[in-house]
């Protein structure tokens, strides 16, 4: 009798695990394809924290940093995890950009899109002593002489900070995008370069400029968000308000490996959907100045395809597009 009961129980357990009803039944690895402290890392850790605090995921989520290749290392690692329901990764626009510029042969098509959970935005900042008082003035100066304004950013040539400026410049009617000087400052010296007058405008993430604005050392001329952002930078106009019909969203979302089992995909989509509705998540969004967003599954995939085409267009104009 006892033996039979055990057998039935075991069979039941086996069936449960086959149908994935207990998924996840072991710790999940969440990969941040950058170093500690960066945007991906922050997003991964905050999300892991919220999922735990709200009890949406009771299994441990282990955040693992896998920096290198602008995210390419993490992306390549996901190719060794095909079909694995226990590894997910956080990504943002560089996922598309590093493929378009030929840094990696893998693309967003080599992952299973789960959900986009937040929007971050870019900002264009000048030193408090700058003669420019609006983004429009900068664009006008560029129209007369594309070399007259020196643009700096953190990310590499052809990556986010550069692209967001060019998207704005293109919409403002600047034609010679290729002639605009863009210098990448990757050693933490970007703000010093701006405040010291070594560059005229800094094009980078919103969060990176907030500190200097608060300290009274820099001014932000425009944000790339569709609406004004909350908090300290709420007095800063959007590009559209300034008469430039453009926006740039630094979307961040989660992906599984290719061929992730469908029960796992559904699990994560519904988990993230529940997460973005919690007050804990709202709190985090406010703390970090992030915008609310939720796009999942096939919609997310369609978004990626559309965005990929937009980036491709800009990169082709710069001669940086390395596809066929």
Q: Where do contacts with other proteins occur on this chain (CB under 8 A)? A: 35-37, 41-42, 45, 49, 64-70, 72-73, 76, 101, 103-104, 147, 150, 156-159, 181, 183-189, 191-193, 195-199, 207, 210-212, 214-217, 232, 287-288, 320
What are the distances in angstroms from CA 252 to CA 29, 119, 178, 212, 240? 18, 6, 28, 24, 23
Q: Which is nearer to other proteins, 184 or 307 (CB)?
A: 184
Q: Which is nearer to other proteins, 12 or 196 (CB)?
A: 196
Please state the closest distance from residue 297 (CB atom) to other proteins, in A: 29
Please state the closest distance from residue 185 (CB atom) to other proteins, in A: 7
Contact 303, 311 (CB under 8 A): no
Q: Which is nearer to other proteins, 28 or 195 (CB)?
A: 195
Contact 60, 27 (CB under 8 A): yes
For residues 123 and 285, give the distance between their C-alpha atoms in angstroms, rounded to a whole number.
Answer: 17
Please state the closest distance from residue 158 (CB atom) to other proteins, in A: 5
Please state the closest distance from residue 197 (CB atom) to other proteins, in A: 8
Q: Which is nearer to other proteins, 159 or 238 (CB)?
A: 159
Q: Which is nearer to other proteins, 265 or 320 (CB)?
A: 320
Q: Which is nearer to other proteins, 177 or 183 (CB)?
A: 183
CA-based nearest residue to 247, from 137, 93, 97:
93
- Per the document, the length of the chain is 324
User: Residue 175: phi, psi to the nearest 5?
Assistant: -95, -40
Please state the closest distance from residue 186 (CB atom) to other proteins, in A: 5
Please state the closest distance from residue 62 (CB atom) to other proteins, in A: 13
CA-based nearest residue to 163, from 119, 118, 205:
205
CA-based nearest residue to 30, from 252, 276, 249, 279:
252
For residues 22 and 16, give the distance between their C-alpha atoms in angstroms, rounded to a whole number.
Answer: 6
């Amino acid at each position: 009798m006892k033996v039979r009961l055990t057998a039935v129980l075991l069979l039941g357990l086996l069936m449960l695990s086959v149908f994935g009803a207990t998924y996840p039944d072991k710790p999940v690895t969440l990969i941040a394809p950058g170093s500690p402290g960066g945007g991906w890392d922050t997003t991964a850790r905050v999300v892991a924290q919220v999922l735990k605090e709200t009890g949406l995921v009771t299994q441990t989520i282990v955040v693992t940093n896998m920096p290198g290749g602008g995210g390419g290392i993490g992306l390549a690692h996901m190719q060794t995890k095909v079909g694995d329901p226990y590894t997910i990764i956080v990504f943002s626009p560089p996922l598309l950009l590093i493929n378009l510029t030929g840094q990696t042969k893998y693309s967003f098509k080599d992952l299973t899109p789960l959900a986009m959970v937040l929007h971050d935005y870019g900002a264009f900042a000048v030193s408090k002593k700058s003669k420019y008082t609006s983004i429009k003035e900068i664009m006008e100066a560029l129209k007369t002489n594309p070399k007259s304004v020196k643009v700096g950013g953190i990310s590499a040539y052809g990556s986010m900070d550069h692209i967001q400026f060019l998207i704005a410049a293109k919409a403002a009617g600047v034609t010679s995008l290729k002639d605009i000087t863009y210098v990448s400052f990757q050693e933490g010296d970007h703000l010093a370069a701006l405040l010291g007058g070594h560059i005229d405008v800094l094009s980078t993430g919103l969060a990176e400029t907030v500190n200097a604005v608060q300290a009274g050392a820099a001014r932000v001329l425009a944000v790339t968000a569709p609406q004004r952002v909350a908090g300290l930078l709420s007095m800063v106009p959007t590009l559209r308000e300034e008469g430039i019909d453009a926006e740039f969203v630094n979307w961040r979302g989660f992906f599984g490996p290719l061929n992730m089992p469908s029960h796992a995909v559904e699990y994560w989509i519904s988990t993230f959907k529940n997460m973005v509705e919690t007050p804990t998540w709202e709190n985090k969004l406010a703390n970090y100045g992030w915008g609310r967003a939720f796009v999942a599954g096939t919609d997310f995939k369609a978004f990626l395809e559309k965005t990929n085409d937009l980036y491709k267009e800009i990169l082709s104009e710069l001669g940086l597009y390395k596809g066929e």
